[in-house]
Structure 1
């Protein structure tokens, strides 16, 4: 068990992945009420639960399915699904923060049957930076040499230090990386997505508090499919030793039913032309709480 004095010891950050969902969390048992239970599908209505997962502790972490839209890619042809996720990272105590976070989603046929969805687009995709900072660093390199002279048969000597100072400007930023992935096999179309958030190491302000992403899937038919997921974070040292969460079981996968109507929470979507939507319009990143539309 961790030493309770770690919080005030000034040890700084330890970038160790703290598994929050989808795998074991090797911290001491505890945390706030509700921190150790798994999120399950409602037996009466198991499809498309909106509250994907939440964990409460020194830092709260939540993920919801904001919008799920089943339709077609273009002109009512080729089945497709658009999914919008929202993540929230909320420290409950002063000075606590998340240094980095990883969210991974894998799409697969329901119960091994039916066809596997293909990931066509995501937002954000690639590498994006926020709140870039610049600072000037000076690096001095030195070497000592012997300075001497022969006079009256004796050597008068000493040492001199030669120094070279180089100034350079360095930049840092909060970084988000989004990728389309292929998991569980080394062939075929991509079936997974992942996002990584990293704090600005210079300012140490943690990852953004609110993060919205979008995924466009191509389907072969209207059979149910599901998404399994895991979300990992690296916390600052104080949070790591403060019983972030209890030991967490695996959350139920999300079941998607293409026969269900569109949610239309953020906007009204053209279900016959989901491929024409600019996913970047749905993407949102803030360091505070997002305003509901």
Structure 2
């Protein structure tokens, strides 16, 4: 089987329940833990919580929470790469009460985005045979000659990023409870997916103080069968992230520069970022 063939995998490392890849909340119920996910070896997926802001959608409006998170897809082996990845963040009431389930109202990035656009020109040659024949009363002479034409067409390919708000783990009715992002490499260049993605999620809450959770799911396609085999194993027991919006509790991240009473007024497009790699201006720093 060719090593360039893609395989869909869940990033579940082998090992027992004590595996370091399984991210747990600290004993006693850690609130808004910083490290969301950490899996892989030569190909690594990591996720971190950057900022959590509890407040209101608008002055005097519904309770809301803004979540900003980073995800990294890295390779320490030049022969290995991620071809595709899907990140899903699903929110739920901590007590699993449907009527208290948070609603994902907006995300960033949201929509279809293209990166690293490559254009190429393809030329196709088409041939045709034409025949001639002398007129009546003359010696019949038939001849044929070929005509060749070249047609050019321009095509482009790109790395793709798609973000959307969805139903996940529930019937498609009521409020949408999940955010999803899909990263797809340029199918022509085969240079892998972006190595860094920062996302922003705005959640409308039903309650002022009730805790809620987020489950982080990541699946990916890799070009290497050997990596597929290495990741077969039990499903990791990553704990859900627990959010506590109680206004009497001290925030876990800085709120500086944000209006907590008008989170719905934020331009989420200013908060997200995507990068393929980080280029250093100087190879050696003094």
TM-score bin (small chain): 0.7 to 0.9
The alignment status of 1:130 with 2:115, answered yes or no, reads yes
The separation in 2 between residues aligned to 1:252 and 1:122, in whole angstroms, is 23
Residues 95-131 of structure 1, C-alpha deviations (whole Å, 9 max, x = no match): 3210110001111111213601111110000001112
Q: Aligned pair 1:204/2:175, yes or no?
A: no
Cα gap change, 1:238/1:66 in structure 2, threshold over 3 Å: closer, same or farther? Answer: same
TM-score, with structure 1 as normaliser: 0.79
What TM-score comes out, normalization by structure 2 length? 0.81
Q: 2:158 aligns with which of 149, 169, 173?
A: 173
The partner residue of 1:68 within 28, 45, 52 is 52
Aligned residue pair count: 268
Of stretches 230-239 and 160-169 in structure 1, the one that deviates more from structure 2 is 160-169
Indicate whether 1:191 and 2:177 are aligned.
yes
Aligned match of 1:235: 222
1:23-42 equivalences under 5 Å are: 29=14, 34=19, 37-42=21-26
| 114-123 vs 245-254, which moves further | 245-254
CA-CA distance at 1:176 after TM superposition: 0.4
| Counterpart residue number, 2:203 | 217
In structure 2, the partner of 1:153 is: none
Structure 1 unaligned blocks of 5 or more: 1-5, 150-155
Seen in structure 2, the aligned counterparts of structure 1 residues 129 and 146 have a Cα distance that, compared at 3 Å, is closer
User: Contact 1:97/1:239 (CA < 8 Å) preserved in 2?
Assistant: no
Which blocks of at least 5 consecutive residues in structure 2 are unaligned? 134-140, 281-286
- Tell me which of 42, 49, 61 is aligned to 1:58: 42
Structure-1 separation of matches of 2:244 and 2:173: 26
Residue number in structure 2 paired with 1:44 = 28
Which one is further off, 169-178 or 222-231?
222-231
Asked whether the 8 Å contact 1:178–1:193 carries over to 2, the reply is yes
Deviation of 1:204 after TM superposition, in Å, equals 1.7
1:270 equivalent to 2:255? Answer: no
Structure of greater Rg: 2
Residues 48 and 254, structure 1, Cα contact 8 Å, conserved in 2:
yes
Equivalent residue number for residue 6 of structure 2 = 15
Mapped contact 1:109–1:116 kept (Cα < 8 A): yes
Superposed CA RMSD: 3.1
- Distance in 2 (CA, whole Å) between partners of 1:15 and 1:267 is 44
Aligned partners of 2:212, 2:90: CA distance in 1, in Å? 11
Match of 1:108 in 2: 92
Q: Which sits farther off after the overlay, 230-239 or 184-193?
A: 230-239
Q: Deviations over 1:22-43 (max 9, x none)?
A: xxx7xxx47xx956x4212112
Q: How big is the shift at 1:164?
A: 5.3
